[in-house]
């Protein structure tokens, strides 16, 4: 789960990482009031779950509340790479002497968290890594040993931060960022830019904070930060219904039992020249309730042109799944073409049931490949 900048900063603050004072606003009037409350010049910042807002016109300086209101008017409703701005963060403006970068994320190859620190902040880190890799200090943390203070010092020296006052603050921030990362079950904590003010104060001016979805049960306060309106509508519906679903960009809706089988189904659809519309795992069950929920999510996607059921009966029996499909279709009345492939335990009974009682638009295929071909054909 990605957090908005202002939410990430709220977490930073809890862990003692210095941030600027600010307020959320959802209308030009609220932006004006926020600027008045903060006093002095402010920055009006689009809150969207994507980076590069500055370049897209989503970050604007305002000298007074009236100007803040005007910028808010311009930025609200702006489309930043497919994300429509509905919320703003009005922050007390900072004077910037230098822009640094610091992050901690997972290096899956190394199976350890990785810190990156550089004095070349304010630009995309990929750019720094490509053009001046020597300016990027990288350090892995052994999760069993944990973070050691000398590691923050090493990062500072390696990045070339030589000012003792800055060092002291950056070291504290690195240490707190690691705590924020571990204690929030984060996947990424990034500060870009980490600024140094003309007075030598170091502060987080931006925040990118991603928390592991699977750990949200441990962080109800973070889970509550989710903004359903900003998410994909199909994925939001799926979450509400408890359906394991990932929205993709194609036309063939996919339903299978078991994550591995569904993944293979996506591959086979691609292999025969189609594009899957989603990943959807029915899990162990195949009862009508589960099928109805999954089909409701899949068919709520207007891009879907055909639906492929790929079921392997292991513990789940194919005849039960077939009954589930029949009851679900009777209840829902779907008009899209549906292709079903059943194999494994009681497959013959399952196929028999479908051939007997299924509606016109459902056809049974014997193999995964032929089912995929048929589903792609019908989606065209």
**Residues involved in catalysis:** 101, 190
According to DSSP, the residues that pair with 342 across neighbouring strands are 311
CB of 374 to Mn ion, least distance (A): 48
User: Per-residue string for binding with ligand GDP, 76-115, x by CB under 6 A?
Assistant: -----------------xx-x--x----------------
Structure tokens at 265: 């189904």
Whole-angstrom distance, CA of residue 215 vs CA of residue 217: 5
In angstroms, the Cα distances linking 198 to 94, 96, 201, 207, 221 are 10, 6, 7, 21, 36
Total site size for ligand GDP, rule CB under 6 A: 15
User: Per-residue string for binding with ligand GDP, 166-195, x by CB under 6 A?
Assistant: --------------------------xx--
- Alpha-carbon torsion (228, 234, 237, 239), positive or negative: negative
Binds ligand GDP by CB under 6 A, chosen from 23, 53, 87, 203? 53
According to DSSP, the residues that pair with 88 across neighbouring strands are 25, 46
Using rule CB under 5 A, residue 103 touches Mn ion: no
Q: Which is nearer to ligand GDP, 121 or 253 (CB)?
A: 121
Using rule CB under 5 A, residue 91 touches Mn ion: no
Point out which span in 89-97, 201-209, 254-262, 364-372 binds Mn ion (CB under 5 A): 201-209
Task: Compute how many other C-beta atoms are within 10 angstroms of the C-beta atom of residue 37.
Answer: 12
Residue 173 binding partner per list ligand GDP, Mn ion, none, with a CB distance cut-off of 5 to 8 Å that depends on partner kind: none
Using rule CB under 5 A, residue 206 touches Mn ion: yes
Total site size for Mn ion, rule CB under 5 A: 2
Radius of gyration, alpha carbons of the chain: 26
Find, among 33, 82, 94, the residue nearest to 58 by Cα: 82
User: Per-residue string for binding with ligand GDP, 210-249, x by CB under 6 A?
Assistant: ----------------------------------------
Using rule CB under 6 A, residue 43 touches ligand GDP: yes
Find, among 185, 179, 178, 180, the residue nearest to 211 by Cα: 185
Residue 59 binding partner per list Mn ion, ligand GDP, none, with a CB distance cut-off of 5 to 8 Å that depends on partner kind: ligand GDP
Q: DSSP letters along 112-155, please?
A: EEEEEEES--SS-HHHHHHH-GGG-EEEE--TTT---HHHHHHH
- Alpha-carbon torsion (62, 67, 68, 73), positive or negative: negative
Using rule CB under 6 A, residue 51 touches ligand GDP: yes
Q: Which is nearer to ligand GDP, 94 or 303 (CB)?
A: 94
Using rule CB under 5 A, residue 192 touches Mn ion: yes
CB of 206 to Mn ion, least distance (A): 3
Count Cβ neighbours within 10 Å for each residue of 239-271 and write b for 16 or more, e otherwise. Answer: beeebebebbebbbbbbbbbeebbebbbebbee
Question: Which residues contact ligand GDP (rule: CB under 6 A)?
Answer: 43, 51-54, 59, 93-94, 96, 99, 122, 192-193, 205-206
**Using CB under 5 A as the criterion, which residues of the chain lie in contact with Mn ion when the complex forms?**
192, 206
């Amino acid at each position: 789960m990605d957090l908005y900048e202002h939410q990430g900063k709220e977490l930073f603050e809890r862990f003692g990482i210095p941030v600027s004072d600010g307020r959320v606003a959802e209308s030009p009037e609220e932006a004006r009031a926020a600027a008045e409350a903060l006093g002095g010049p402010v920055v009006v910042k689009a809150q969207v779950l994507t980076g590069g807002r500055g370049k897209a016109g989503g970050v604007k300086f305002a000298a007074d509340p009236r100007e803040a209101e005007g910028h808010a008017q311009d930025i609200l409703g702006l489309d930043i790479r497919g994300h429509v701005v509905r919320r703003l963060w009005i922050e007390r403006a900072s004077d910037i002497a230098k822009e640094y970068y610091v992050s901690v994320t997972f290096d899956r190859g190394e199976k350890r968290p990785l810190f990156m620190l550089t004095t070349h902040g304010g630009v995309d880190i990929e750019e720094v890594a490509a053009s001046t890799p020597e300016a990027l200090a990288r350090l892995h943390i052994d999760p069993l040993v944990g973070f050691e203070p000398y590691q923050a010092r090493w990062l500072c020296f390696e990045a070339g931060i030589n000012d003792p006052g800055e060092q002291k603050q950056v070291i504290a921030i690195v240490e707190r960022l690691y705590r924020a990362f571990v204690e929030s079950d984060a996947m990424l904590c990034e500060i870009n830019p980490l600024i140094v003010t003309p007075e030598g104060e170091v502060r987080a001016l931006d925040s990118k904070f991603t928390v592991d979805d699977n750990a949200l049960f441990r962080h109800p306060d973070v889970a509550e930060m989710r903004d359903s309106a900003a998410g994909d509508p199909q994925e939001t519906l799926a979450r509400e219904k408890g359906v394991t679903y990932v929205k993709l960009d194609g036309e063939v809706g996919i339903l299978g039992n078991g994550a591995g089988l569904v993944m293979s189904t996506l591959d086979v659809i691609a292999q025969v020249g189609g594009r899957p519309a989603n990943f959807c795992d029915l899990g162990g069950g195949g009862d009508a309730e589960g099928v109805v929920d999954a089909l409701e999510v899949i068919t709520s996607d207007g891009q879907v042109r055909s639906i492929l059921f790929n079921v392997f009966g292991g513990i789940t029996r194919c005849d039960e799944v077939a009954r589930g499909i029949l009851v679900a279709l009777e209840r829902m009345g779907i008009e899209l073409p549906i292709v079903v492939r059943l194999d494994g335990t009681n497959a013959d009974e399952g196929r028999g049931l479908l051939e007997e009682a299924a509606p016109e638009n459902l056809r049974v295929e014997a193999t995964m490949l032929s089912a995929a071909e048929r589903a792609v054909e019908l989606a065209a």
